[in-house]
Amino acid sequence: MIEAFFLAISPSYLLYMTIGILLGLIVGTLPGLTATMGTALLVPFTFALPTGEGIAMLGGLYVCAMFSDAIPACLVNTPGTPAAMATGFDGYPMVQQGRGQEAIVAACFSSALGTMFGAACYLLLAWPMISIALQFGPPEFFWLGIFALTIIGSLAGDSILKGLAGGAIGLLISCVGISHATELNRFTMNIPELRGGVSLVAALIGVFAVPQVLSMVLGLKRQEYIAEYRAEKGVFLKTILKVLSRPIHFLRSAAIGSFIGILPGAGSPIAAIVSYNEAVRWSKDKNTFGKGNVHGVTASEIANNAAAPAAMIPLVTLGVPGSSPAAVIAGALMLRGLNPGPELFATDGVLVYSFGWSLFIAGIVVFFVGMLATPLLVKVIKIPLRLLAPLIMFLAIIGAYAIRNNIFDVYMMLAIGIFVFLARRLGFHPGPIGLGFILGPIIEPSLVQALYISDAVGVQKIFFSGIINITLISLSVISVAAVALSRFKARRLAKQA
Amino acid sequence: MKLKLNSVIKGTAASILGAAMAFTANVALADYPEKDITFIVPYSPGGGSDQMARRLQPGLEKALGVNVRIVYKTGGGGAVGFSELHRSKPDGYTIANVVVPNVILSSKGDGVGYKPGDFEYIGMTESAVGALMVPKDSPYKSLDAFVAAALEKPGMLTVAGVGGTGADRWGALADILGIDTTYVPVSGGVGKMMPMLAGSHVDAGMTASNHATKHKSIVDALVIAGKQEVTTLKGVPFEPKWSYVTTWGIMAPPGTPADIIATLNAALNEAASDSSVADALSNAGYNTIIQTVDEVNAFMDEQIKAYQ
């Protein structure tokens, strides 16, 4: 482990990792360029390097993209990757209140801490954590998805019904395409492109970017800029202290992030959503969330970053990647003739550990890179809307196209965008719709698989037994009950007043 | 008169156009390839097809003397990428992975816009047979033990496979063994199946044998398809009546000229014969294949017949 540490801090490792981080900054910031695409594009270039440096570079790109996707989420309310959706819930209101610098600094610092926590899990707790993660089968994934859906309660705003309807619309759209189990065409209307389903990334760009651009354009007469922007002195230190003043909030978010990161197929977006939900639940001032609470930003960013190194744990313990970028890194290792999995500890132990240290150090480098870039990045707010709106639209179209190189995704993005824009005017929050998109691909296949297994062992045994199932069901019920209770109280108060 | 002049102009224009086209066609044939080639990967980055493309990329570039650019067009179990290739210009500058039988099975859906017989096949490079595997700590240490348990509790053992095609393939083996089990479809490929096996959420899993080789630390293979042993799975019995084989290769859009296909076939075989590629394949548990254009066409005809 010590040998691996010294390897990870050797100049060549640091150099290539930092290059990866700088690329990750770009990849994450541009909606549509995801960490998966970024790492896949970088793989051929890493072949010129020794294996250790090569995967350090890929890892650097991955963790930095998990920070930089927060930048567009905060500044223009469009998550750079699906993992940053929850970051924007509070990040964008902060920017509107003129606290742009605070939002970005908070995102950057909590991303750095989250990455280091996740990397520490990879280095120290890989085996115990994976043995718990393996307890998650189809029914557990199903209940995890249902539990994550309960966040609608804290997102829905004025009408819980509209929140539920939004979530249902998102889930339904995620069903479009060839069904997971029986390969049936669903809602494809004989359009071949729809067989592959609606691209998650393109759909999220539609949900967030297009309505944003449209309301910018319609509001041009009233508003020239997103928000007032003034550089505030001492905001860096103040924000960092704010994050550090909540150690329990940090530990909870980081633990949720790294654990969900381990679950193959769940990944950073779910980690961020569950962590945000828990931050709201445990907070004393629940009503400030969604209206610019800095801890909403940190909850999401700590978790989605902790999930990135954690997604490497199933790769080295089972040989199964925990997320799509981890799958690309696995592919890069296999092309070099290495077989990622438990044997790698025996044959290339130094490589396994130096990668962990690289991810840990990447957290620190991301912090400095982010701090240097923040003053520059927040200047986006200074761009007048008449320039910013077409720029976002341009990036949205490129991003929707780039994800699968398919022009059809651009049409879908525009159609969903216009739909969400209209729905927003009717009082729908875009959050639940995006949530449905992200959770559909987790909930549906796991429900189907669990139902198939229930043929053999019975519904009761598969869905309602086992400590994890019972825990997740109880948490979901408590979540829903708490929301119902607080709404009931609020209504009574309103009546009395 | 007016009419006559018009037709003269049209005729001249047509002949000039024709000559120009013939000229460009000749040039294209003489100098192929003279620009970068796009290689469509119809499955996600990091998956088997992506790795195959990446493995062959350096060899193809060396043999053809131009760059080979890899692009991902994913979705629909490969259908999105296959139909994109089908629509591409047949000039030899766009090629794609092909997975058999996926290309045949995916074309059966309505509206995909291609038939497996349409494409020009360049060559197959590797294949793997099916395997039934159980978790390391499974109570079923052999195929006999598994079959005995299934006979004792009909429908109570669960077997995971990939999607609906997996259901057919498992059904074939279950019929041969004469057992009744519960099939569990996994979406998102083998990456999702291994954790289910490692956590014993299903009793067994069924997929291509190269995965049983790769995940030797998690699973034990009970039986493989075909008429011979797989070298990386020594001692695992084989079932000759079970004809589950997956084959990987490269294809071009319908109507790509024969001499371009011949050039690509030669380049592919050169790339695939490279010792680093061949070693990587055999270590990973694949059978390596080198085919002429005639051989790949005969192979595809036979496969299309078998699956239709």
User: Is residue B113 located within the same domain as residue B257?
Assistant: yes
Evaluate whether residue B1 is within a structural domain: no
Determine the residue of chain B that is closest to A200 in CA distance: B75
Interface contact flag, B109 A319, Cβ < 8 Å? no
pLDDT, tens only, A6-65? 999 999 999 999 999 999 999 999 887 889 889 988 988 898 899 999 999 999 999 999
| Residue-wise pLDDT tens digits, A307-349 | 999 999 999 998 888 888 898 898 888 878 788 888 888 888 8
pLDDT tens, residue by residue, A449-479:
999 999 998 999 999 999 999 999 999 999 8
Chain B residue with Cα closest to A462: B201
Average pLDDT of the segment spanning B213-230: 92
SS3 B158: strand
Q: Is A440 touching B (CB cutoff 8 A)?
A: no
Residue A103 identity: A
Size (chain A), residues: 497
pLDDT digits (tens, 9 = 90+) for B252-295: 999 999 999 999 999 999 999 998 888 888 888 898 999 999 99
For A195, the closest of B54, B109, B195 (CB atoms) is B109
| B77 and B112, same domain (yes or no) | yes
B5 domain-assigned: no
From chain A, the residues in CB contact with B55 under 8 A are: 335
- Contacts with B, A 102-161, CB within 8 Å: 133-138
- Whether residue B33 is found in the same domain as residue B95: yes
Q: What is the ipTM of this complex?
A: 0.85
Chain A residue with Cα closest to B213: A339
Q: Is residue B294 part of a domain?
A: yes
Domain limits for position B269: 28-126+247-307
The closest CB to that of B45, out of A178, A331, A405, belongs to A331
Same domain membership, residue B218 and residue B139? yes
Residue A109, pLDDT score? 96
Q: State yes or no: pLDDT of B3 exceeds 50.
A: no
Contact B184 A330 (CB under 8 A): no
**pLDDT band at residue B192 under the 50/70/90 scheme:** confident
User: Residue A378's pLDDT is what?
Assistant: 85
CA closest to A329 among chain B residues: B46
For residue A351, pLDDT beyond 70 = yes
Is B46 in contact with A134 (Cβ distance < 8 A)? Answer: no
Q: Is A181 on the interface with B (CB under 8 A)?
A: yes
Per-residue confidence (pLDDT) for residue A138, from 0 to 100: 93
| The pLDDT value given to residue B237 | 95
Burial class (CB in 10 A: 0-12, 13-18, 19+), A494: exposed
Instruction: Confirm or reject contact between A320 and chain B (CB < 8 A).
Output: yes
**CA nearest neighbour of A322 among A68, A129, A148:** A129
Query: Which residues from B are below 8 Å from A452, CB to CB?
Result: 158, 182-185
Look at residue B7 in the predicted model and tell me its pLDDT: 53
B202 vs A contacts (CB less than 8 Å): 453
Any idea what the CATH number is for the domain that residue B103 is in?
3.40.190.150
Cα B244 from Cα B302, distance rounded (Å): 14
Which residue, among A47, A136, A312, A405, would best test binding to B if mutated, counting the most B CBs under 10 Å from its CB? A405
- Nearest to A209, CA basis, from A97, A92, A292: A92
pLDDT of B110 reads: 62
Do B73 and B113 lie in one domain? The reply is: yes
pTM: 0.87
CB contact under 8 A, A195 and B76: yes
In a domain, B23, yes or no: no
Say what the pLDDT of residue B128 is: 93
Q: Residue B171 — pLDDT band, cuts 50, 70, 90?
A: very high
* CB-neighbour burial class of residue A183 (10 A; exposed 0-12, middle 13-18, buried 19+): buried
Distances (CA, A) of A347 to A9, A26, A337: 22, 35, 12
Check residue A24 and give its pLDDT.
Answer: 95
| Contact assessment for residue A216 and residue A385, using Cβ atoms and an 8 Å cutoff | yes
pLDDT in tens, B127-141: 999 999 999 999 999
Per-residue pLDDT at B28: 46
Instruction: Give the minimum alpha-carbon distance from B94 to chain A in angstroms, rounded to a whole number.
Output: 14
Instruction: Give the least confident one: A396-405, A445-454, B70-79.
Output: B70-79
Q: How far apart are the CA of B23 and the nearest CA of chain A, in angstroms?
A: 32
Same domain, yes or no: B280 and B293: yes
CATH code assigned at B172: 3.40.190.10
Examine the fold and report which residue of B239, B263, B281 is the final residue of a domain before the chain moves on.
B239
Pairwise CB contact (< 8 Å): B77 & A192 = no
The CA distance from A445 to the nearest CA of chain B, in Å, is: 7
Provide the pLDDT confidence category of residue A183 given band limits of 50, 70 and 90.
low
Contacts A401 to B, Cβ<8 Å: none
Does a structural domain hold residue B111?
A: yes
- Please tell me the total count of domains within chain B: 2
Mean pLDDT within B73-80: 74
| A404-436 pLDDT tens trace | 777 889 999 999 999 999 999 998 888 999 999
Find the residue in A nearest to B276 (Cα).
A337
Q: Is A32 an 8 Å CB contact of chain B?
A: no
Count structural domains, chain A.
1
Assign B302 a pLDDT band (cuts: 50, 70, 90).
very high
**Residue in A with minimal Cα distance to B161:** A181
Task: Report residue A59 CA to chain centroid gap.
Answer: 16
Q: Which domain holds residue A38?
A: 2-496
